[in-house]
Amino acid sequence: MRGQSNGLRWSPDGSTLGFLSSEGRVSTDDALFVVPAAGGEARAFMPGYEGSVDWFDWAHDGKSLLVSAVEHEASALLRVAVSGGSSEPILPEQLRGHGYIGEQISYSADRKTLAVVRSSGEQPAEVWTGTAASLRRRTSFNADVEQWATGRVERLSWVGAEGIEISGLLVYPAGYTPGKRYPLVLHIHGGPTWFWSDHFYASWHDWAQYLASHGYAVLLPNPHGSAGRGAAFADSTLDDYGGKELTDDLFGVDQVIAMGVADPDRLGVGGWSHGGYLAAWAISQTDRFKAAVMGAGMSNLISDQGQNDIPRCNDQYFSKRTYEDPDLFMQRSPITYVQNIKTPVLILHGGADERVNPMQGREFYIALRLLGLPCMLVTYPREGHHIEERKHQTDLLRRVLDWYDRYLKGPSRQA
């Protein structure tokens, strides 16, 4: 067990406590532990589980735990026996393998009826209720969205770094025409120990369906270091920050090109937080991308160490601390290779961001400007790591789309 814990719940008889914490080196809070209420050692309840637990609760009789988890990109709802740890899936067959539930689960007192907030790549969140054998959608809060031109979502897998299978989601352009190649945006998730789930992405932070509605294909990869595949996978980037991740992502791009969907001459990259870092890292290592968006990303892992509000965060991805081996951290900092960059960069940042200080974006911007590279820096006043004000959110989305349009839209090519 490592890092913080949350989700504490008592067993019905009061003898045991369950909680979420980390099974590996990286602090993820997505592994289930139990500990005797009278004291003793906590133990992993599902040791070695190749997924991420979002939510759990005790069954009414205390003989099992109800667990909501993510396995790769899709939600799983499981009943796990307290004795022996055997598990069985309890999501209805038609919902298994796709869609996302997360923590939004409520059971009736007798545990026979449940309510969940479920979404999928093509359907915004709605309330579903019923039994484990049959769930029905009960709300239409987002009926207007169903009239939008959105893209079909497909789960992909490909061989990544070290021969490991990597998976992710491909959002097709709205109105996709087979045989026609489209501009592709590689959208990289934050964390890095986070993941893209089979969820509806159309917000200031999640651009996939927004870009798809404007004629883009969008790849959402879950490379080495992502959640959703257990502690060993989350820990697999130790001393290789940005390394296997970028390899996995580029192989995913190659897959979409080989499918005849993406135009290899019109590739963009972008992301927020660690996704912003990895977008900057990508363009410092390859010139394949014609446009980049760096959202709240780190450009210098040394200066970031002294500026962010969780200074131990970076250290958990390296075997030595920042000031014990600064060279290793500089070797994985985009600013070190800024002279290699040829890609136009849009840098976006909250002006009051304490998680990733806005000086990280400014430092990168100044270097790009001094080198005469096309770039733009936009900071949003009063905003922290998340952009909350509505006008700022809409401004951000328009700038993202305008930037990609400027550098990626051109004559379409046939496969």
Instruction: Identify the three-state secondary structure at position 333.
Output: coil
- Closest among 237, 196, 203, 160 to 52, alpha carbons compared: 196
Q: Where, residue-wise, is CATH 3.40.50.1820 in the chain?
A: 149-408
CB 286 within 8 A of CB 267: no
- Closest among 34, 27, 30, 35 to 50, alpha carbons compared: 30
CB 347 within 8 A of CB 375: yes
Torsion angle of the four alpha carbons 413, 245, 379, 28, in this order, in degrees rounded to the nearest 10: 140
Looking at residue 116, its pLDDT comes to 87
φ/ψ of 412, rounded to 5, equals: -70, 155
Tell me the CATH number for domain 149-408.
3.40.50.1820
Looking at residue 379, its pLDDT comes to 98
Looking at residue 3, its pLDDT comes to 65
Show the tokens assigned to 306: 């002294």
Looking at residue 207, its amino acid is W
Looking at residue 79, its pLDDT comes to 85
- Closest among 156, 154, 228 to 191, alpha carbons compared: 228
Looking at residue 60, its pLDDT comes to 80
Q: What whole-number distance in Å separates Cα of residue 31 and Cα of residue 308?
A: 26
**Side by side, which strands form the sheet with 165-171?**
153-159, 165-171, 217-222, 182-188, 262-272, 291-295, 345-350, 375-380
Tell me the CATH number for domain 2-143.
2.120.10.30
CB 16 within 8 A of CB 34: yes
Residues 6+ apart with CB under 8 A from 2: 21, 22, 23, 24, 25, 26, 27
Q: Map tokens 């958990």 to a residue.
A: 316
A 10 A CB-CB count for 249 gives: 28
* Sites in the chain below the pLDDT cut of 50: 415
CB 126 within 8 A of CB 78: no
Instruction: Identify the three-state secondary structure at position 148.
Output: coil
Q: Where, residue-wise, is CATH 2.120.10.30 in the chain?
A: 2-143
Looking at residue 295, its pLDDT comes to 98
